[in-house]
């Protein structure tokens, strides 16, 4: 039997770190509903969803609808960025784009996404030399490593004017650490996405609604912002994420499968699907 080396490392890391049972209740989107209250609005159509933010480290301001297309293959595409920018929504491009692709999108609505490898550092250095990206997303599956924190701090020193979103984490102390290390926005969520395998492979995760509440409280106390990443399967989940304290909400599966995914359409006898 072959066992993935990453799984083995995570298993032994968990054992060596010890286990502590948390007895207080942790909640996902499906565990709660929003209790209604009286409003002066005549209809839901009258809700103004535009928001203006000023970012802690970059000192930049931005106005738009704080929903972000995920940096997943088939979601964070050039076509998606073009379409959503027309509606003043953001897109986090996936990591596999060539740096020349960024000339085809509106920078005020587009995140450039990188990881923390040496190749990613070369990419970001090349981009900064050409023109620092307006929005930059530093994305890893599990942000609980010193290497990740150090990389966020390093990129902030390289590009002080970029709005940096970094994650993913799910606890208040790490949200604080990332804000102190230079992140304007902390990306919150581990294992909550529909195609994320982190929970099943490593056993690591946290119910998304509670993660947002705890991380938002920590980040807001320092002047930082948070983005809920994962777990939204309906528009009601987006509302719950904002209600829990998220400043931005990232969507993956809800935007997948559209023509903007830039993936080939596969025909089968049962119907048409991506």
Inside any domain, residue 217: yes
Inside any domain, residue 45: no
pLDDT digits (tens, 9 = 90+) for 224-255: 999 999 999 999 999 999 999 999 999 999 99
3-class SS at 209? helix
Q: Reply yes or no on whether 215 is catalytic.
A: no
pLDDT digits (tens, 9 = 90+) for 174-194: 999 999 999 999 999 997 655
Round to the nearest angstrom and report the end-to-end CA distance of the chain: 33
Supply the pLDDT for residue 2.
Answer: 46
Inside any domain, residue 235: yes
Residue 221 is part of which domain span? 50-262
Using the predicted structure, report yes or no on whether residue 113 has a pLDDT greater than 70.
yes
Inside any domain, residue 248: yes
Determine phi and psi for 118, rounding to 5 degrees.
Answer: -60, -35
3-class SS at 179? helix
User: Average pLDDT for residues 146-172, to the nearest whole number?
Assistant: 97
Inside any domain, residue 4: no
100's tokens: 């020349």
- Say which of 10, 104, 137, 196 is annotated catalytic: 196
pLDDT digits (tens, 9 = 90+) for 3-60: 455 444 554 454 445 677 787 889 999 999 999 999 999 998 899 999 999 999 999 9
Inside any domain, residue 34: no
220's tokens: 């807001």
**Based on the structure, what is the number of domains in the chain?**
1
Supply the pLDDT for residue 6.
Answer: 46
CATH number, domain containing residue 129: 3.20.20.70
Inside any domain, residue 21: no
Inside any domain, residue 267: no
């Amino acid at each position: 039997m072959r066992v993935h080396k990453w799984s083995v490392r995570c298993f032994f890391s968990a054992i060596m770190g010890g286990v502590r049972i948390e007895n207080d209740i942790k909640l996902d989107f499906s565990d709660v509903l929003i209790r209604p209250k009286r409003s002066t609005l005549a209809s839901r159509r009258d809700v103004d969803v535009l928001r203006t933010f000023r970012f802690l480290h970059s000192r930049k301001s931005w106005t738009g609808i704080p929903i972000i297309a995920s940096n997943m293959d088939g979601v964070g595409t050039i076509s998606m960025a073009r379409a959503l920018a027309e509606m003043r929504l953001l897109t986090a491009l996936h990591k596999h784009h060539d740096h020349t692709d960024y000339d085809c999108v509106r920078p005020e609505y587009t995140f450039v996404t990188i990881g923390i490898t040496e190749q990613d550092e070369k990419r970001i250095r090349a981009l900064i030399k050409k023109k620092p990206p307006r929005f930059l997303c530093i994305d890893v599956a599990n942000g609980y490593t010193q290497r990740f924190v150090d990389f966020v701090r390093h990129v902030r020193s390289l590009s002080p004017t970029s709005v940096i979103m970094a994650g993913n984490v799910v606890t208040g102390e790490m949200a604080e650490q990332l804000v102190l290390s230079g992140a304007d926005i902390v990306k919150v969520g581990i294992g909550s996405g529909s195609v994320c395998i982190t929970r099943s492979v490593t056993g690591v995760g946290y119910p998304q609604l509670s993660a947002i509440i705890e991380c938002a409280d920590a980040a807001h106390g320092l002047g930082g912002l948070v983005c809920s990443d994962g777990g939204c399967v309906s528009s009601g989940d987006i509302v719950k994420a904002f209600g829990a304290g998220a400043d931005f909400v990232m969507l993956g599966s809800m935007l997948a499968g559209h023509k903007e995914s830039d993936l080939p359409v596969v025909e089968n006898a049962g119907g048409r699907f991506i």
